[in-house]
Chains A and B, each alone.
Chain A
């Protein structure tokens, strides 16, 4: 069965370190997204990609970067981790560039920056 997997599930890192969160999907979806979820804020879009070599900034992109070298993967990098980036991160993918299909989400990565 097709799936979308995130790794690691939990990560503790120190302030200032570079961290990369992995997202891998086997749906063959062109569109992939990274969100963070915090109490009181809901899901907020960090970066998204509509295909290989395409990346776009979301509403909370500062301090994060992504690259898309193939269809299956969209890793999220925190260039210099800050305590404000402690959050739960979700990767999602979708079949179309429009919004007439739902998104498929991974199970999330809980990141703690100490």
Chain B
């Protein structure tokens, strides 16, 4: 069956460190993979998109990698700050629609 897996356990890191979140998928061959941020009580906010022919995409302190062989995307936040604390969702393109993972909660401590 088709699955998107994100670590359901919260990731706790110290301010200034690099946070790395993982998105694994099975039985999909997505052309695109997207990452969103969601704060409590709010809707997801689009952060980055990476295409299947791109290995890496950067935006300010954010970096996303996409390995279609491993069927995995990694999302990195460098020099993390308490304001980065949120839930991060990955989403990939299924047959004709966007499929979301359940998200990983990131907590950055001062």
User: Taking beta carbons and an 8 Å cutoff, which residues of A are in contact with B?
Assistant: 35, 40-45, 48, 58, 90, 92, 99-108
Contact = CB atoms under 8 A, between A and B. Distances in A.
Contact of A43 (B41, B49, B89): B89
A28 to B, nearest CB: 17
Contacts, number: 50
A29 B54 CA distance: 27
A100 B93 CA distance: 10
Contacts of A103: 34, 44, 46, 98
Per CB-CB distance, the 5 closest pairs between chain A and chain B, nearest first, are A102-B46, A105-B43, A42-B102, A43-B100, A99-B93
Interface of B: 4, 31-32, 34, 36, 41-47, 49, 51, 89, 91, 93, 97-98, 100-103
A43 B92 CA distance: 12
A96 B43 CA distance: 20
A105 B97 contact: no
A52 to B, nearest CB: 20
B32 A100 contact: yes
B51 to A, nearest CB: 8
Given A40-B102, A42-B89, A101-B49, A108 B97 contact: no
B34 A106 contact: no
A104 B89 contact: no
Contacts of B4: 42
Nearest to A39: B102
B43 A99 contact: no
B32 A108 contact: no
Which one of B41, B43, B49, B93 has the greatest number of beta carbons of chain A within 10 Å?
B43
Given A42-B100, A58-B97, A106 B43 contact: yes
Nearest to B44: A105
B102 A41 contact: yes
Contacts of A35: 100
